[in-house]
Structure 1
Amino acid sequence: MNELMRFETADGGHVVVEVSTQDPGIQRASRAGGMVEVRQRFEDALTDVRDAAISALAVFRDGRLKPDSVEMEFGVRLNAEAGAVIAKTSAEGHIVVKLGWNSESAENESH
C-alpha cells in the first residue's frame, strides 16, 4: 500500500512524495488530510545524498583518470525517518557513473 508524505521546504512550501507503507522507517509525525507530515525539511532530507555525490565526484576528479566530464546518477528514495537515501536496484545501491574524454584531450594524453 502507498501513502503520501509531505515535506516542508525552506521557503515554506511543500513537496508531496508517494512512499510505500512497507518501507522501514515510516515515522508518522502527524496526519493531515490523509498525508503523513514529515518533521524534516525537504532540503535537509537531501543533504546526505549531496554529501555522497561530493565524495563520489572527488574520487573521479582526483587527477588519475583526468576525464573531461563526469556524469553521476543516483537513485534516491525519500523516507520519513531517514530522509533521502540512495535507492537500491535489486540488491545494491543505485549509482551510475559515466566518464567522458573528448578525442583531443585523449590524443594529448597519449603523446
Structure 2
Amino acid sequence: MDTEMAIGAFAALAQTSRLEAFRLLIRHEPDGLAAGEVARLLAVPQNTMSSHLAVLARAGLVTAERSGRTIRYRADLGRLRALMLFFLRDCCDGRAELCGPLLADLLPACRA
C-alpha cells in the first residue's frame, strides 16, 4: 500500500458512522451484511448509510455484491491487512523487541 492509498483509507474511516460500519462488517465476515441491515444495526437512515458505504467502497475498504434489490457489503480484509502493514513494516526500525508488546496485544484481539 502506498501513502496515497493509506490516506484515502484513513480519510474514509475518519467519520463515526463509517468507522462503526466498517467495524460491524469486520465482525460479520465472511458473510457480510445487507446495506439496510447495517443501517438498522447502527441506527442510521438508509440513504445516509448508503452514502457512507459508498465512501468505504471507493477507499477499497469494503466490497459490494448485488443480489436482486439487495446490496450485501463485506469488509475487505486484504485492504485492512495492507493498511495495518503500512505502519507495521517500519515498526521500531526493525527492532523486534520494541514491536513485541504491540504484536502481543494484537494476537488476542484476533482470537476473540
Give the TM-score normalised by structure 1. Answer: 0.33
Larger gyration radius, structure 1 or structure 2: 1
Structure having the higher strand fraction is 1
Structure having the higher helix fraction is 2
Give the TM-score normalised by structure 2. Answer: 0.33
Q: Comparing both chains, which one has the higher relative contact order based on Cα–Cα distances under 8 Å and sequence gaps of 6 or more?
A: 2
